[in-house]
Structure 1
Amino acid sequence: MKHILSVLVENKPGVLSRVTGLVSRRGFNIDSLTVAPTEDATMSRMTIIVDADEVGYEQITKQLHKLVSVFKISDFTDSDAIERELVLFKVLATPDRRHEIIEIANIFRANIVDVGKSSLTVEATGSASKLDALEDLFRGYGIRQITRTGKIAMSRGSSDK
């Protein structure tokens, strides 16, 4: 089962390495990892997507809690959390087909962020299923390059989870 963990850690060198090393040493693969500073410059938030059974998940979280630089772990797996991803697509765009690609981008509320002689670069945010659907449509035109961030997650409402 895929687990979505939000881990609040110290914003210091080496913390990312310790956290990812801990997970990989336990024999689990990280499907997605995003890290960025929070509203407090001394803290960073890691969003980790890991595929593990309940025993493995429990082992990972217990070991993470033991790390001095980890302050809080929240599990958004079964919660009503806001989840988003960012993707950049570089799509082949001949002048006669550009308007079609722009229309598709508009339908998905995506933005054209660069225009080249033979390509358009499209930026989109949303759920994984939305971005997968957009990718499927762009494949018909030819995708030169894709860069995807992985998920970020946050609890809804006033919860500070």
Structure 2
Amino acid sequence: MKHTISVLVEDEAGVLTRIAGLFARRGFNIESLAVGPAEKGGISRITMVVPGDERSIEQLTKQLYKLINVLKVNDLTTTPCVERELMLIKVSATASNRAEAIELAQVFRARVVDISEETITLEIVGDPGKLVAIEQMLGKFGIREIARTGKIALSRESGVNTEYLKSLEVKV
């Protein structure tokens, strides 16, 4: 199972290296990594997606707390949260199919950020599933390049689990 781990750390040189070293020593692969300033000055939030079972993630959490500069560790996997990623995708788009590519982008609320005679570059922000879906749909045009950020996530204060809401069937 993939776990989303949020770690608050003091913003000092070498913190990310120590955390990555811990993961490497434990044999964990970091599938997604995003780092940026947190709500307070001098503190950064590291959001990671790592595969593992409950026991191994619990051990990893305990090890993270032993590191200098680690302030708080949260496993957001089962917590209602807001998750987002950013993707830039460059696809082949000639005059004959450009309108179709732009129409598809609009369906996914993507923005056109660059256009040339042979390509179109789109910016898509959303949950990871949305990014996978648009990537599959744009595949027919020919994907030239993709750049994705890692997942970022914050827990929902409302406690509303949107994954649960998505699973409900709408009855008309």
Q: What's the TM-score, normalizing by structure 2?
A: 0.89
Per-residue deviation, 1:157: 2.4
Per-residue deviation, 1:158: 6.5
Count, aligned residues: 159
Superposed, 1:51-66 pairs within 5 Å as: 51-66=51-66
Superposed, 1:21-36 pairs within 5 Å as: 21-36=21-36
Structure 2: distance between partners of 1:6 and 1:61: 10
SS in 1 for 2:27: coil
Residue 147 of structure 1 corresponds to 147
Unaligned runs of 5+ in 2: 160-172
- In percent, how many aligned pairs have the same letter? 52
Describe the superposition over 1:19-47 as per-residue Cα deviations: whole angstroms up to 9, x where unpaired. Answer: 01101101111111100112323010000
- Corresponding letter in the other structure for 2:100: E
Superposed, 1:10-159 pairs within 5 Å as: 10-157=10-157
Consecutive aligned runs of 4 or more in structure 1 exceeding 3 Å deviation: none
- Corresponding letter in the other structure for 1:50: V
Per-residue deviation, 1:114: 0.7
SS in 2 for 1:39: coil
- Corresponding letter in the other structure for 1:89: I
SS in 2 for 1:140: helix
Structure 2: distance between partners of 1:152 and 1:84: 5
Structure 2: distance between partners of 1:62 and 1:109: 40
- Corresponding letter in the other structure for 2:96: D
Describe the superposition over 1:101-124 as per-residue Cα deviations: whole angstroms up to 9, x where unpaired. Answer: 110110100100111221110000
Structure 1: distance between partners of 2:3 and 2:38: 21
SS in 2 for 1:130: helix
- Corresponding letter in the other structure for 2:134: L
Per-residue deviation, 1:150: 2.0
Residues 158 and 43 of structure 1: is their aligned pair in 2 closer, same or farther, counting only changes over 3 Å? farther
SS in 1 for 2:114: strand
Structure 2: distance between partners of 1:70 and 1:117: 49
Unaligned runs of 5+ in 1: none
- Corresponding letter in the other structure for 2:31: D
Describe the superposition over 1:58-85 as per-residue Cα deviations: whole angstroms up to 9, x where unpaired. Answer: 1110010011200011111001100111
48-57 or 138-147, which deviates more: 48-57
Structure 2: distance between partners of 1:59 and 1:79: 19
